[in-house]
Chain A
């Protein structure tokens, strides 16, 4: 599979990898995708006076997924929330020259932006008009904190 130079660039030099404090009232956190699908994106935004001041992402997924979410954090910075909601997956596809088989990565990145915004809006009691592709619209339940999964790592003999 040939990657575009831009995808390779984002993979080698990802923008804005990391985390913001999810308990910060100015921060909206969106987590989309599922491990079984091979794609999970966490995107966080720090919003002040309706403008996105900062953004961070972490992604479990292929090079195109990483690039899509990295690009998303680049694009949302400096935008108002309304402007950020206008970002379409097709914009990401065009910018990164994603092949058809990777379009779903761009869709997930668009969903991640919307999900983060929806979380921010919920924290501020703003009725969310955000539409997220294909989800039930339900907010994910608070994850149970448990002891680390006991792995079945087999040590070599």
Chain B
């Protein structure tokens, strides 16, 4: 018997692991001190908790604890990375290279910097969502100061060739920033091996609390400096002022410790569940398309387009019981379909039919079977109601029809 509702939207956020919550509670009770209070035990205790957590967080990325700066989340970390580098290195150059399927935290920040006079190149992606290393090389100029490429995409799960990009960046002496919000704790991330200079990640994507993230800033080979975005007291070596979110940090540390230890097993398990979900669905339904790379992809991510069935109507049939998300325009606040799917070259009609399943630590095989069953039922029902399915079954090529748009 599955317990409803089932949560299968782990790229949006994750539940706080009970072990993480346990670790955080003392910070709300006895251990409530300000980590910057240097002169009494309350402060010293808080500082100790923070430094323990900092070490756990550094460890999962193979960084030194001194290289970890605490922020409010990956969005803030991304802002500091881009704005901080643009300002600090403006004598050196004013060109940043990124790519079209980045999270809005990067794209919107890049757009803002363009208004300030920074040049930004947005590399295109192939139909799987991967950038081309050749195009990256070709885009580099003597004014390039930063390359920013995400490790794993939140919508389609595609994993970029981070190590290869790191090598190129190193050869050309350009700083390499990676938004790893979806990657840390899910795939091995090693800032040394991958040649990463700046890294953003977030607790709530890895079974930690919301409101806390980290920014890794390399101290050696080369020493990276970033101008702060937030001023006020000089905390975190001047990079990010503000009283530290001690409970959040402690939770983040615990989440990293758990993730690092459980990563190999969890990866195997999630891959098995995802394959089961995918195969059960495609075993019963035709015209189902995978979005993103079939192999180079986050273990828990499955993004499928169900031709002839609009995403929001599909969600409406299951969302009392199952939490997933869609790339359909109707599910976005702006009525724009997913820009990530658009960048892959997925037709807008198929973008409207996409559903993103995000499997996670606490999903079970029973849940996967239940979700597959409900999806299959609902898609079949909606296809019976779909004029597009009817036309396709009659052999009409939908691409040749002249539609009467409104």
Which residues of A come within 8 Å of B, CB atoms?
3, 8, 11, 14, 17, 19, 31-42, 58-63, 65-66, 101, 104, 107-108, 111, 115, 132-136, 138, 140-141, 143-149, 151-157
- Verify B289–A151 contact, CB threshold 8 A: yes
Which of B308, B312, B330, B400 interacts with A143 by CB under 8 Å? B400
> Which residues of B (289-333) have their CB < 8 Å from a CB of A?
289-290, 294-295, 307-313, 316-317, 328-330
Is the CB of B117 closer than 8 A to any CB of chain A?
no
Q: Among residues 324 to 356 in chain B, which have CB atoms less than 8 Å away from a CB atom of chain A?
A: 328-330, 335, 337, 347-349, 352
Complex contacts, B392 vs chain A, CB 8 Å:
148-149
- Contacting pair A66 B406 (CB below 8 A): no
Contact of B404 among A33, A36, A63, A157 (CB under 8 A): A33
Q: Which residues of B contact A151 (CB under 8 A)?
A: 287, 289, 307
Query: How far in angstroms is the closest Cβ of chain A from B361?
Result: 21
Query: Given contacts A104-B406, A146-B395, is CB(A17)–CB(B385) below 8 Å?
Result: yes
A65–B309 Cα gap in the complex (Å)?
Answer: 12
A141 vs B403: C-alpha distance when bound (angstroms): 9
B103 → chain A, closest Cβ, in Å? 23
Q: Of the candidates B330, B388, B395, B400, which one forms a contact with A40 in the assembled complex, judged by CB atoms under 8 Å apart? A: B388
Distance between A8 CB and nearest chain B CB, rounded to angstroms = 8
Q: How far is the CB of B193 from chain A (nearest CB, A)?
A: 26
Minimal beta-carbon separation of B205 from chain A (angstroms): 24
Interface pair A58/B387, CB less than 8 Å apart: yes
B138-167 interface (Cβ within 8 A of A) = none
The chain B residue sitting closest to A37, CB to CB, is: B405
Interface centre among B278, B282, B395, B401 (most CB of A within 10 A): B401
- Minimum CB–CB distance from A87 to chain B (whole Å) comes to 16
* Complex: chain A residue closest to B349, CB-CB: A35
B contact residues around A61 at 8 Å (CB)? 310, 313, 330
Contact assessment for A115 and B404 in the assembled complex, using a CB-CB cutoff below 8 Å? yes
Contacts of A155 in B (CB 8 A): 282
Asked whether, in the complex, the Cβ of B395 is within 8 Å of the Cβ of A148, the reply is: yes
B295, B395, B398, B404, most chain A CB atoms within 10 A: B404
The answer to whether B400 and A146 touch across the interface, beta carbons within 8 angstroms, is yes
Are A66 and B385 within 8 A (Cβ)? yes
Cβ–Cβ contact A62 & B391, under 8 A: no
B residues with CB within 8 A of A: 275, 278-279, 282, 287-290, 294-295, 307-313, 316-317, 328-330, 335, 337, 347-349, 352, 384-392, 394-406
Instruction: State in angstroms the CA–CA spacing of A9 and B385 once bound together.
Output: 15
* Closest residue on chain A to residue B328 by CB atoms: A38
The reply to whether A133 and B406 form a contact with Cβ atoms under 8 Å apart is yes
Q: Say whether B395 contacts A58, CB under 8 Å.
A: no
Specify which of B275, B290, B399, B402 is in contact with A140 (CB 8 Å cutoff). B402
Please determine whether B406 and A37 come into contact, CB atoms closer than 8 angstroms: yes
**Min CB gap B37→A, angstroms:** 45
- The answer to whether A145 and B396 touch (CB under 8 A), given A35-B388, A59-B387, A60-B310, is yes
Whole-angstrom distance between the Cβ of A54 and the nearest chain B Cβ: 17
Q: A33-B405, A63-B312 are in contact. Are A40 and B387 (CB under 8 A)?
A: yes
**Contact between A154 and B290 (Cβ–Cβ < 8 Å)?**
yes
Q: How far is the CA of A138 from the CA of B337 in the complex (A)?
A: 27
